Structure 1
Amino acid sequence: MNHVRTRQHRHPWRLSAIGMALATANAFAQAPAGESAATANTLSAVVVTASGNEQELREAPASVSVITREDIERRPVQELAELLGTVEGVTLNRSGNLVPGVQLRGLGSAYTLMLIDGKRVNATSAMFRGNDYDTGWVATDDIERIEIVRGPMSSLYGSDAIGGVVNIITRPISKQWRGSARIETTVQQDKNAGDSQLAGFSLSGPIKTDVLGVKLNGAYVHRDADGAVNSLPAGGTRQTGLQNIRNRMFGAQLALTPDSRQSITADVDTSRRDHSGFLMERDALSLQHKGRWGFGNTELTFAADEIRNLTGMISGQVNPNKANTTSLAGKASIPVAWGNQFVTAGFDIREEKLYDPTNLRGQPGTAGYDASTETAISQWALFAEDEIRITDRLAVTLGNRFDHHENFGGHNSPRAYAVYQLNDAVTLKGGVARAFRAPTLLQGSPNWGSVSCGSATVGCYIVGSRDIQPETSTSQELGLQFAQGIHSGGLMFFNTDLKNMIDITNRTADRTLATGYSNFVGYLPDGRPIFRYQNIASVRSRGLEASWNARVSPQWNLRSNYTYTDAQNTSGSVAIPLTYRPKHVLNLGADWNPTAQVSVSGNLRYHSAQYISVSSNGQSRVEKDGYAIADLTVGWRMTDALTLRAGILNLTGKTFDRTTSADFNEEGRRYYLALHAKF
């Protein structure tokens, strides 16, 4: 065993926080159901991602968090993943130092479905590894809010939503002309670390009042690569720091409202993202019709995108590919007087294609090599959801989605959820859901293969396989939300059992040891071992999420959330912890508005120790110590149109050396300055 820590840490603050949350919730549960303006304001926020229709947050049949536009404006946000990491239940997978993948409830980023206005984005086929692209296709100035649904949502959204959904909702076209723009710069105290800049804008308004409107938005983001931020070990190799990033994006929307019942929107977006020399371009278009009729509401959406990987996935090589996705989705939401129900039903048809002349050539040395450089799959789905209002305080949501995959047949994803308003202050929530995830276009294709094991010439080779099975999960959650007077928050327990997790971690460049691996396929003509994707029998992730916020006064607001996650590979006789999953994550924040023109915000995030490397048998483990990072930002509204913001990020200058390729750097102390304009 190379490096194992068995030390256990006591966290009295954690136990106290949980005890206080339970005690407070119990007190609210006993409180009379009286009027409370603060309660109404907190729980009446409307969300659209957790079910088939708009609902108030307290009634949503899921665990939902919302990042508001104010949250985005209050701090520098060049990569949305960093902001998502401040939400309970969300952790970031920082593998290889360069990739901030979004994990929900301990499940990897592959199980987080990313949406933009309800339309999925997925760059996995074009960049199957190192894929941190899908959180950044939208200019931050055009974001109205972000809804994070934690827990499986496959009954509505299908494959990839086992962990949950992140829905980036853009700003609607204004009935009057309005715009915003921002420029930001962040300067590192360490001259070896990379500085960053951002410029962005959003503009919208009517061409013909109440009939035709237009919206334009764009942004440019640049971060210099780090230099020698990590020390040079004796006789070793200096690890690189954070990468060079250059992103640019532009979007346009045209909205037509022919009458009071209908709206038609057309969107066109183009983006180019350069992450340390790996270039990705995305062009997308969509056409959506929404109707509000006497019997209910309808929605029909056509969407298509093309993602071009201009570089490939292997350092030092240029192997471009191209992925195309086309989808047609529709749904109808209808209130049913009998039984006080609200029924949503719909369909989803999707086709994915990949052109990859380097990796889609079949297995080298076989008769079928170079026979085709393209692959495609199609799938369709039918779904239905019924919200049954049993009493004024109790609602039950039942739903199911049937997905039919071209290669893996049909699968059902049922869900049952109950929401009970104990009183005006406390809402109890709980449910159970089944979900499935089909192998990606690459994982299920035997003609796809790529070099691996750290070298393009003497490493190993990995291939897709028709033998792998779709992943399935069963999840449960139970908890509460509360809002009473100045206080609001929640407590939620969750458990997810994942079966047949698709994996490729079992591989080695050692030609002698290779035959002992269960997913060993054979050898290339040059002797490199070949391994196929395989299923891991079972993975379990369980834990709890807690949050508490207090509007202490008109000037002061306190924010906090805590997440405990225990994620393990439970396939063998001994459970093995998953990497990049800190068991304890704590976020604390305070907002102070001493005057109408001045705002001050402080934030603290704490991550406990986490494993950054665990061998397949669990015997060799590398652990990274826990750490805390504090930020301070100040805003000054100089005029109604101009706001100046400044801050110090990582106040204490907490840094640590990245000593292995599996480790990651946190940025050191840096200074932030931004100018926001609204007009």
Structure 2
Amino acid sequence: MKTAFYLSVAALAVALCSTGAFAQGVDLPEDEEVISETIVVTANRTERAISQVGESVTLVEEEEIVNRQPSEVLDILRTVPGVTFNRNGGIGTNTGVSIRGAESDQTVVLIDGVKLNDPSSTGGGFNFGPALTGNIARVEVVRGSQSVLYGSQAIGGVVNLITREPTEDLGVFARAEYGERDTAELVGNVSGKFGPVGLSVGGNYYRTDGISAFSEARGGTEPDGFESLGANAKLDIALGENFSIDLRGFYADSEVEIDGFTATGLGDTNEVSYREDLVGYAGINANFLDGRVRNRLGIAYTRIDRSNFSFDTDSETFDAFGENVRYEYQGVFDAAEIAELVFGAEREESEYLSSSFGAPAIGDKVWINSAYGQLNLTPFQGLSLTGGVRYDDHETYGNNTTFAASGAYSPNGGDTVLRGSYGEGFKAPALFQLFSDFGNTALEPEESESWDVGITHSFLDGRAQVGVTYFERDAENLIAFVGCTGNPIPACQDPANPRPFGTYDNIALASAEGWEFGLAVRPVDGFDVALNYTTIDARNDVNGNHLPRRAEDTISLVADYRMENGIGIGATVFVAGDSFDNATNTTRLDGYVVTDIRASFGITEQIEIFGRIENLFDEQYETIFRYGQPGRAVFGGVRYRM
């Protein structure tokens, strides 16, 4: 179906809602306080009211996550403005997320502030496939190039997944559900404070028989299951009035059955992909000058192990290990009532090993040293300005410097906010691109410049908000795979290290521009309706083609009504327009509409039963050519909160 048809369907859905629609990321507070007092952390690496943030930010907080009943992080991200995704099968399979048309490996992904990107993947990106919501209580997405504060890969933006925090009183969250395809999920978390120690610890388990990754509409018959076990923990230890120790941990162990290429093309295969994620952070916080100087010194560790095993050939087909160690210092100095300085230094050491079909493992490691500073100014009430610079020194290509600036202005106490930002981004060559059999150690970093400008306005005494943002991004030196036949670049001409199949080179240019529109309404207490519409024109500037697997138009409608009698009802409608599967724009992916509905009922103040129907109308669609997506499915369960 064509994009216009889907836009008409979405418009009809909005018309049927008596309240209008929604700009997601708008946090409409229960007590009708000014929306702008919502606090965000990721945009400036320090707490700031959203009315003082010039960057484009979306927040999805715990209550919305609980109400929407998602099992996977993708269910949340797909409704964020500017975000598109592609996935080669059902839950657990390889999933790429793009922000404002950037490549999926041009996004920094964090879990509780620790970088999750996989150094062993081809482009150093993060596979969202096995990422479950579990005990994630908050999602922050910052759009636009953010390398001044987050370094390499922050060309498209930053996604920060934040798990449940320690609480003052004993807090318990538990959820159990069962549904279609023999799907079962268990989630639990306990938090509290015990003297000087604040603790939050939890775990989750998920399993499903799944769907055929090779599209059932094209002949796929074998279900591809997924299973995952995870754990999360945070520990805050107060050593005194001004000192504390901060410990964080995250673990996930998953396996997913995958389909691949056979002698006759893509089809059902008896192959399993295993993955283990281990993330840790240890730091010390020290405050001086009555809290005006806040210091954090820490070490962050990420390790991702992956392997594929074929039961058809009884052999391991792939094995990879990626490790990232980051030593970091960050300071925040309240220099004056109107000025705050954020500054820091980092050393990141990345390592990878990989092999295919039993061949000897190939790997290497690289370091990058960085220093950054950003000044946040509030020269007078209603105006906030930021400006920052970062310097990076990379082991293979040398150094580069990036800049950023942003501003937010509200003439009426946050009811109307004008925003604008400019940011430069860079992405260091991935280890695979540098050191694999196809590697090229002469690669330069990918670079970008992006800017956006927008306005949000609240009305109806804070019960409604409308917003619009325009954005542009230009990227150069993009790394692409090239053939070596007749190619004069040194990597292709090195007789000591021949590249018969090709190598990587900085040859690509890309750009993106578009609009993000949003509307949020709370007509009565407990009833939230939200609509987002994004249009993105992302192109290869060398040949003018559309970048593959980026829908030009996306719409999300999210509505939830929590009644005083304990009943909750809600729906999500997600619309994606047409896109192309390949860079030559010869294979088209049709647009689609997916509708989810949900309900819940509070038996007591702590216990609630819930249920949902995903893909209510059993839409058949593909986000990658010939790979299927889940059809209609029913789930139900119970949750406990204290």
TM-score w.r.t. structure 1 length?
0.82
Secondary structure of residue in 1 paired with 2:76: helix
Does the CA-based 8 Å contact 2:213-2:223 persist in structure 1?
A: no
With over 3 angstroms needed to count, the CA separation of the structure-2 counterparts of 1:102 and 1:357, relative to structure 1, is closer
The alignment status of 1:56 with 2:19, answered yes or no, reads no
Number of the residue aligned with 1:128: 122
Number of the residue aligned with 2:548: 579
- Which amino acid in the other structure matches residue 298 of structure 1? N
CA deviation vs aligned residue, 1:177-198 (integer Å, no higher than 9, x gap): 22111112231xxxxxx44221
CA deviation vs aligned residue, 1:199-241 (integer Å, no higher than 9, x gap): 11111223x32x12333211111121325984576xxxx3478
Does the CA-based 8 Å contact 1:387-1:398 persist in structure 2?
A: yes
Number of the residue aligned with 2:632: 669
Give the Cα–Cα distance (whole angstroms) in 2 for the partners of residues 15 and 200 of structure 1: 36
Does the CA-based 8 Å contact 2:53-2:407 persist in structure 1?
A: no
- Which amino acid in the other structure matches residue 46 of structure 1? I
Number of the residue aligned with 1:245: 226
Give the Cα–Cα distance (whole angstroms) in 2 for the partners of residues 583 and 638 of structure 1: 44
The alignment status of 1:470 with 2:460, answered yes or no, reads no
Identity rate, percent: 23
Equivalent positions of 1:510-659 (< 5 A) are 515=485, 521=492, 529-572=500-543, 575-615=544-584, 621-656=586-621
Does the CA-based 8 Å contact 1:114-1:135 persist in structure 2?
A: no
The match for 1:442 among 432, 442, 448 is 432
With over 3 angstroms needed to count, the CA separation of the structure-2 counterparts of 1:231 and 1:623, relative to structure 1, is same
Larger radius of gyration: 1
With over 3 angstroms needed to count, the CA separation of the structure-2 counterparts of 1:634 and 1:552, relative to structure 1, is same
Secondary structure of residue in 2 paired with 1:444: helix
With over 3 angstroms needed to count, the CA separation of the structure-2 counterparts of 1:321 and 1:415, relative to structure 1, is same
Does the CA-based 8 Å contact 1:93-1:109 persist in structure 2?
A: no
With over 3 angstroms needed to count, the CA separation of the structure-2 counterparts of 1:333 and 1:676, relative to structure 1, is same
Number of the residue aligned with 1:296: 293
Secondary structure of residue in 2 paired with 1:530: coil
Does the CA-based 8 Å contact 1:255-1:263 persist in structure 2?
A: yes
Number of the residue aligned with 1:224: 209
With over 3 angstroms needed to count, the CA separation of the structure-2 counterparts of 1:667 and 1:14, relative to structure 1, is closer
Give the Cα–Cα distance (whole angstroms) in 2 for the partners of residues 77 and 517 of structure 1: 49
The alignment status of 1:348 with 2:346, answered yes or no, reads yes
Give the Cα–Cα distance (whole angstroms) in 2 for the partners of residues 311 and 533 of structure 1: 25
- Which amino acid in the other structure matches residue 497 of structure 1? D
Does the CA-based 8 Å contact 1:89-1:545 persist in structure 2?
A: yes
Give the Cα–Cα distance (whole angstroms) in 1 for the partners of residues 311 and 140 of structure 2: 34
> Greater share of strand residues, 1 or 2?
2
Q: Which has the higher contact order (CA 8 A, sep 6+)?
A: 2
CA deviation vs aligned residue, 1:455-496 (integer Å, no higher than 9, x gap): xxxxxxxx1112322100010100012222221132110000
Does the CA-based 8 Å contact 2:95-2:128 persist in structure 1?
A: no
Does the CA-based 8 Å contact 1:96-1:663 persist in structure 2?
A: no
Number of the residue aligned with 1:385: 374
Does the CA-based 8 Å contact 1:62-1:150 persist in structure 2?
A: yes
- Which amino acid in the other structure matches residue 218 of structure 1? G
CA deviation vs aligned residue, 1:614-647 (integer Å, no higher than 9, x gap): 32xx5xx111222211111001011122111112
CA deviation vs aligned residue, 1:102-152 (integer Å, no higher than 9, x gap): 111011210111111211112241x43897645756x63422211110111
With over 3 angstroms needed to count, the CA separation of the structure-2 counterparts of 1:353 and 1:518, relative to structure 1, is same
Pairwise CA RMSD: 3.4
Where structure 2 has 5 or more consecutive residues not aligned to the other structure, the ranges are: 14-19, 21-28, 258-271
Does the CA-based 8 Å contact 2:578-2:591 persist in structure 1?
A: yes
With over 3 angstroms needed to count, the CA separation of the structure-2 counterparts of 1:182 and 1:523, relative to structure 1, is farther
- Which amino acid in the other structure matches residue 594 of structure 1? M
Give the Cα–Cα distance (whole angstroms) in 1 for the partners of residues 155 and 377 of structure 2: 24
Does the CA-based 8 Å contact 2:164-2:200 persist in structure 1?
A: no
Give the Cα–Cα distance (whole angstroms) in 2 for the partners of residues 134 and 228 of structure 1: 16
Secondary structure of residue in 2 paired with 1:320: strand
1:242 Cα offset (Å): 7.3
Give the Cα–Cα distance (whole angstroms) in 2 for the partners of residues 7 and 267 of structure 1: 44
Secondary structure of residue in 2 paired with 1:58: helix
With over 3 angstroms needed to count, the CA separation of the structure-2 counterparts of 1:93 and 1:654, relative to structure 1, is closer
The match for 2:39 among 30, 42, 46 is 46
The alignment status of 1:76 with 2:57, answered yes or no, reads no
With over 3 angstroms needed to count, the CA separation of the structure-2 counterparts of 1:389 and 1:550, relative to structure 1, is same
Equivalent positions of 1:160-559 (< 5 A) are 160-187=153-180, 194-206=181-193, 208-209=194-195, 211-227=196-212, 230=215, 238-239=219-220, 243-276=224-257, 277-294=272-289, 295-311=292-308, 317-318=315-316, 319-337=318-336, 340-356=338-354, 373-424=362-413, 425-445=415-435, 448-449=436-437, 463-484=438-459, 485=461, 486-504=463-481, 515=485, 521=492, 529-559=500-530
- Which amino acid in the other structure matches residue 265 of structure 1? D
Does the CA-based 8 Å contact 2:114-2:279 persist in structure 1?
A: no
1:358 Cα offset (Å): 5.2
1:73 Cα offset (Å): 1.2
With over 3 angstroms needed to count, the CA separation of the structure-2 counterparts of 1:165 and 1:315, relative to structure 1, is farther
Give the Cα–Cα distance (whole angstroms) in 2 for the partners of residues 348 and 522 of structure 1: 36
1:531 Cα offset (Å): 1.3
Does the CA-based 8 Å contact 1:643-1:676 persist in structure 2?
A: yes
Give the Cα–Cα distance (whole angstroms) in 1 for the partners of residues 333 and 307 of structure 2: 45
Q: Which moved more, 1:577-586 or 1:221-230?
A: 221-230
Give the Cα–Cα distance (whole angstroms) in 2 for the partners of residues 229 and 587 of structure 1: 27
Q: Which moved more, 1:259-268 or 1:212-221?
A: 259-268
With over 3 angstroms needed to count, the CA separation of the structure-2 counterparts of 1:16 and 1:154, relative to structure 1, is farther
- Which amino acid in the other structure matches residue 592 of structure 1? Y
- Which amino acid in the other structure matches residue 559 of structure 1? A
- Which amino acid in the other structure matches residue 259 of structure 1? G
With over 3 angstroms needed to count, the CA separation of the structure-2 counterparts of 1:39 and 1:533, relative to structure 1, is farther
With over 3 angstroms needed to count, the CA separation of the structure-2 counterparts of 1:663 and 1:601, relative to structure 1, is same
Does the CA-based 8 Å contact 1:481-1:491 persist in structure 2?
A: yes
- Which amino acid in the other structure matches residue 535 of structure 2? Y
CA deviation vs aligned residue, 1:533-554 (integer Å, no higher than 9, x gap): 2223310011011111001011
With over 3 angstroms needed to count, the CA separation of the structure-2 counterparts of 1:497 and 1:482, relative to structure 1, is same
The alignment status of 1:89 with 2:77, answered yes or no, reads no
Does the CA-based 8 Å contact 1:141-1:181 persist in structure 2?
A: no
- Which amino acid in the other structure matches residue 398 of structure 1? G
Where structure 1 has 5 or more consecutive residues not aligned to the other structure, the ranges are: 18-23, 25-35, 188-193, 362-369, 450-462, 508-513
Secondary structure of residue in 2 paired with 1:533: strand
1:14 Cα offset (Å): 9.6
Give the Cα–Cα distance (whole angstroms) in 2 for the partners of residues 232 and 387 of structure 1: 54
Number of the residue aligned with 1:21: none
Give the Cα–Cα distance (whole angstroms) in 2 for the partners of residues 438 and 130 of structure 1: 9
- Which amino acid in the other structure matches residue 327 of structure 1? R
CA deviation vs aligned residue, 1:582-614 (integer Å, no higher than 9, x gap): 111011122223334111001111111111123
Does the CA-based 8 Å contact 2:163-2:232 persist in structure 1?
A: no
